[in-house]
Structure formats: structure tokens, C-alpha cells
Structure 1
Amino acid sequence: MGQVRQPRRVQTYDAELGAAVARAQDGDEAAFAVAYRLVQPGLLGYLHGLVREDAEDVASDAWLEIARSLGRFKGDGAGFRGWTATIARHRALDHLRRQRTRPRAGGTEQDVLHLPAQHDTHDQALESLSTEQALELVRALPRDQAEAVLLRVVVGLDGPAAARVLGKRPGAVRTATHRGLKRLARQLGVDGEADDGVTDGTSRTLREWA
């Protein structure tokens, strides 16, 4: 298990994201839509790990707050991803607290990483993490490990940024990420073969992460 690398897709889109956010802060609605398209898939993957089928609803609440608070944001594309992840996490925790105080409504599982056809280019960039079963396996990790893996691998934050989102020391997040990825690798078997019930697509996804 080597050091977790920032996904190449994140490095590719960060400059575009930073420029779009700057234009959006000047009132450019089309630029805000660009920022949304770049951030939303990873944010949904992270939220799916926290609230499952309610990820879309929680993401909608988070984006309302992001839009209202956009003028207060200061930073680049990478900073914007961390800032939006922090807001989304707060909304997810609020949602989970509300769930504990009321009966859980039924729902159907959604493919939270599905994007409309017009975003095909971004779909292609997300192919390596589009396996819903892989997200379910991550969700089964201990909470600290699951959040660390989701923030580092799915959202694409570096160690210090993920630590700020979680309110922890970078070393603790680095350890949780390592343990989580190591546990996921064991799910594939020490000989590299997937355990029963783990599809080939999920196996490839987890190997890339690990």
C-alpha cells in the first residue's frame, strides 16, 4: 500500500475549477454551473458513504448553502473542493441527527454517480470510481477510515485538506486512510483475487484506490 496520490482527474480540473469559482463570485451564473459540474460527482460519492440514498437531498441542501456563502470563500480550486466538502459534511451530520429523532422513510437506492449525457467528458474522468459496490464496501469500514478514504480518494483532497474537513490532525487522517485502504485490499484477497460477491469492476476500482 503506497502513499495515496491525488487523483489525476483532480489535478486536471483544479485550475478550471478555481477560474470558474472566481468568475462565479463576480456573478457569472454559467461559471457557477461549471463549478457545480466539476465538484458534484465527488461530493455525491462522499455523501453516499455517509447517508446512502439520501445523498442527493443532502447535496442539494449543501449547494444552497454553498451558493449563499460563495462570496465569503477565499482560495483556489483545491480549496473550494475542501470548503464544499466541509459544508456537505455538516449537512450530512445534521441529516443523520434528524434521522435519529424520527422514523426512517423508505427509499430506493440510486446511482449517485450518474451524470446527464451532456457531461460525458466528466463521466469518463470518473470511470475509475464509478462502481457503486466499491462505495458500499468503503461505507462498511469504520467511520473514521471510511470518511478518510472518501475524502482522499473520491473527493480528491490532500491530507491537510481532508484533516481540516474532519477537524483532525493530518497524521490521524493519513493513518485512517492507510488502514482503510489496507482493509479494502484484504477484501480482494492477498493473491489479488476478489472475495465472493465482489465484481470484477469493483475489484479494479479498489485496486486503483489501494
Structure 2
Amino acid sequence: MASILREEESYLWPDAVNGASLAGAELVATYPRRSDVPRHLWTELLRGAERTIDLLAYAGLFLTEEHPDWIPTLTAKANAGARVRLLLGDSKGKQLGYRDAEHRIGGGVAGRVAAVMAYYTQNMPPAVEIRLHDTPLYNSIYRFDDEMLVNVHVYGILAAYTPTLHIRRIDGAYYNTYLESYERVWAGARPIEEDDL
């Protein structure tokens, strides 16, 4: 049955496996680079989300640049009642400068954050919550209801070239770890002020 449906047995019958196997079943796919994640997957996950869309990145500019329907779909989801929360890098903090020095791109990280802030603040309805964070970012997290794409950051390598995990909540062992991280960053982040724009 599992092979016919092209799903893992542990996904179809979570009570039939032990905790370690169940946690492993949450890992749907791994990609050696974020740029290897199929473009359609980002769109499918966004379109399929009905309750929650969360983003944690310094910029995540590729979403607005490579997916023309990203902002209109986020807007539609927020207007339909989904909770949409965006956590972006705080240009007033220290972490963007550290990441910039790490990648040796001469102010590029702050510039990307400014560009994505312009996209989001000019086009998003008030229902979309945007906060700024100044945390060392070990992962970028893109949550769509019970699925996530987690871009694992590696020192000195641009995020587009580092691994990405596709996680689907089953028992929560993988999923909840990243969700807890997201919530901690959200709790410590600040709202956008007029001089941030």
C-alpha cells in the first residue's frame, strides 16, 4: 500500500513504528543546496498552507525574485485568515554585519534585507506580521502549516549553496525542534519602525 501511494509506511501508520523511526519519517527529502529544491515545491507548499505561514531568514530575497506569485499568494492567504509571520534581519543589529563579513560580500546582506523589506512592506496587508531579528542564524526556516523547508547555514557559504531539509510533522521530533527555534526568535524580535523603511 505504501509503495502504491508513494509514501513512507511510518507516515501512513505512525503508531506502527518506534519513536526514532517516526522522527526519521518526518524527513521527507534532503537537498544538497537550497538551489536544488524544486521551484514548484516552494509554490505548492505556499498554496497548500491554510493556517500558518512562517518565514525566518535574514532576507529570503530569492522568494520574491524567483516566484512571481509569492507576494500575491501570501496576501491572499493572510486575507483568507492564515497567520503569516515574517522574521527578517535587523539592519540596526550586529548579525547582518557578521554574516556580511563571513561571506565577504561588502554590504550585500543588508542590501538584500532592504530590498526584501521594500517588497513586503509595500505589498502586504496589515494582517501580515513582520518583525526584525538580530540573532545568529543557523537555519532559515520556511513553515507552511505542517511542513517546513529548513535551509541549514554553513560558515562562509552562501545559503543558496547549503543543504535544505523538507520536514513534515508526524510526531514532531524534527518539526517541533525547528518550530521552537522559530518561536524563540519571534519572541525576541522587534516590530518594524518607520525609520527601518
Structure that is richer in helix per residue: 1
TM-score normalised according to structure 2 size: 0.31
User: Which structure is richer in relative contact order (CA contacts within 8 A, separation 6 or more)?
Assistant: 2
TM-score by structure 1 length?
0.29
- Identify, as 1 or 2, the structure richer in strand: 2
